[in-house]
Amino acid sequence: MKSVQLYREVEIAIKELRSNVSSPHKHHFFELIYVLEGSGIHNINDNNYEFSQGDVFLLTPEDAHTFQIVVPTRFCIIDFTKSFFSKSADRQEEKMDVSEFFKRVEYIFHNHHNVKGNIISVTDKNTFEVLVNQLISEKENKQLFNEIIIQNIVFLLLHLIARNIQQNITNYFKKQNPKNKIHEITAYIQQNIYDKELIKIENIATHFNKSADHLSRYFKIQTGNTIKDYITRYKLNLIQTRLKFSDLTVSEIAYEMNFTDESHLNKVFKNVFGKTVTQFKNEEIAKQR
């Protein structure tokens, strides 16, 4: 396997498999897998998914996976290393880069398990193929500006994945219950979680052409939770992800999530999880040693 590192943050590799070569294993960070050619079965967390050319899989650190090869297969694999989520000492602007990255891709990390197997639709397969081939070309040829071009291609791929995940989940819920709007409401909240004005109950209600009281009752009946509780819990889930995979400080995270300060965040976090943010982060650090 050949790989190249960009900004010490992203590793891109072309991998060829002609037979089953490994037992189920996990990766330390996030991995995007694109099938260039071939076919077989991708086992993810003891679930089997058939794959063929053009299929796309996203793995998180919690996922265990392996391949059963039917036809010799080539993959393009993009690994996001730990430094991709960290502030580097020689680039002070990296703090914003890290937070902006999480804003772009956290919807994927928190929803991709709702999509079984391949996560790219037929509609976007051609676009994805063109982008991956350009990514490989930039990696191999190392032309002028190739690093920034590769970075932007990676972001485009992630945006396509996010859109496909959202569409797949929306289609599923519409098929199950066409009149139920809960997924649309929760998707709206997730997409606007950083804008405290847009996620006020009265503004959510306006967006869905309902009164605030009607929306609140509807949400409570359908989910068993209030909208406020849902928003708080989703924020805390995002915070857990950042504590696990970034080196953003607690105060930086509190500011981004619109908590009054670090003390306010710690109080809310402890009420839900029974431990402070710092205690949670220290436990995660100990697990990774």
First to last CA, the chain: 27
According to the model, what pLDDT value does residue 96 have? Answer: 39
* Spatial CA neighbour of 213 closest among 223, 224, 226: 226
* Spatial CA neighbour of 287 closest among 22, 61, 59, 23: 61
Is 93 a residue whose pLDDT tops 90?
A: no
Is 35 a residue whose pLDDT tops 60?
A: yes
According to the model, what pLDDT value does residue 92 have? Answer: 44
What φ, ψ does residue 79 adopt, rounded to 5°? -105, 130
Query: In the numeric block, which tokens belong to residue 176?
Result: 């199950």
According to the model, what pLDDT value does residue 244 have? Answer: 82
pLDDT above 70 coverage of the chain, percent: 86
Domain total for the chain?
2
In angstroms, the CA 206 to CA 143 distance is 50
According to the model, what pLDDT value does residue 97 have? Answer: 53
Give the pLDDT confidence of 265-280 residue by residue, as tens digits: 999 999 999 999 989 9
- Same domain membership, residue 283 and residue 236: yes
Is 6 a residue whose pLDDT tops 60?
A: no
According to the model, what pLDDT value does residue 28 have? Answer: 66
- Same domain membership, residue 139 and residue 235: no
Query: In the numeric block, which tokens belong to residue 167?
Result: 């569409």
- Same domain membership, residue 235 and residue 97: no
Given 112, 143, 173, the domain boundary residue is: 173
- Same domain membership, residue 219 and residue 120: no
- Same domain membership, residue 166 and residue 27: yes
According to the model, what pLDDT value does residue 9 have? Answer: 63
According to the model, what pLDDT value does residue 3 have? Answer: 39
According to the model, what pLDDT value does residue 132 have? Answer: 95
In angstroms, the CA 97 to CA 102 distance is 9
pLDDT top residue among 84 and 270: 270
According to the model, what pLDDT value does residue 287 have? Answer: 75
According to the model, what pLDDT value does residue 181 have? Answer: 87
Query: In the numeric block, which tokens belong to residue 122?
Result: 């037929």
Is 164 a residue whose pLDDT tops 80?
A: yes
Given 173, 207, 223, the domain boundary residue is: 173
- Same domain membership, residue 51 and residue 6: yes
Print the domain residue range for 20.
2-173
According to the model, what pLDDT value does residue 91 have? Answer: 44
Check which CATH number belongs to the domain holding 28 and give it: 2.60.120.10
User: Can you tell me whether residue 41 is helix, strand or coil?
Assistant: strand
* Spatial CA neighbour of 196 closest among 242, 236, 228: 228
- Same domain membership, residue 36 and residue 169: yes
Is 218 a residue whose pLDDT tops 90?
A: yes
Q: Is-contact 193 231, C-beta < 8 A?
A: yes
pLDDT band at 150; cut points 50, 70, 90: confident
Partners of 34 in beta bridges = 56, 76
Mean pLDDT of 124-150: 90
- The total of other beta-carbon atoms located within 10 Å of residue 204's CB is 21
- Same domain membership, residue 201 and residue 81: no
Check which CATH number belongs to the domain holding 279 and give it: 1.10.10.60
Is 66 a residue whose pLDDT tops 60?
A: yes
Mean pLDDT of 243-261: 87
Is 193 a residue whose pLDDT tops 80?
A: yes
Work out the mean pLDDT of the chain and round it to a whole number: 84
In angstroms, the CA 44 to CA 62 distance is 10
pLDDT top residue among 19 and 57: 57
Q: What is the CA radius of gyration of the chain?
A: 20
Q: Which long-range contacts (CB under 8 A, 24 or more apart) does 6-10 make?
A: 6/147, 6/150, 6/151, 7/83, 7/84, 7/147, 7/151, 8/81, 8/83, 9/80, 9/81, 9/83, 9/84, 10/78, 10/79, 10/80, 10/81, 10/84, 10/150, 10/151, 10/154
- Same domain membership, residue 205 and residue 76: no
- Same domain membership, residue 109 and residue 25: yes
- Same domain membership, residue 79 and residue 216: no
Residue 285 burial by CB count (10 A; 0-12/13-18/19+): exposed, middle or buried?
exposed
Given 144, 173, 202, the domain boundary residue is: 173
According to the model, what pLDDT value does residue 201 have? Answer: 95
Q: Is-contact 57 119, C-beta < 8 A?
A: yes
pTM metric for this prediction = 0.77
Query: In the numeric block, which tokens belong to residue 15?
Result: 């991998």
Angle between helix 94-111 and helix 146-176 axes, rounded to 10 deg: 30
- Same domain membership, residue 108 and residue 245: no
Mean pLDDT of 210-235: 95
* Spatial CA neighbour of 11 closest among 95, 80, 103: 80
pLDDT band at 4; cut points 50, 70, 90: very low
pLDDT band at 5; cut points 50, 70, 90: very low
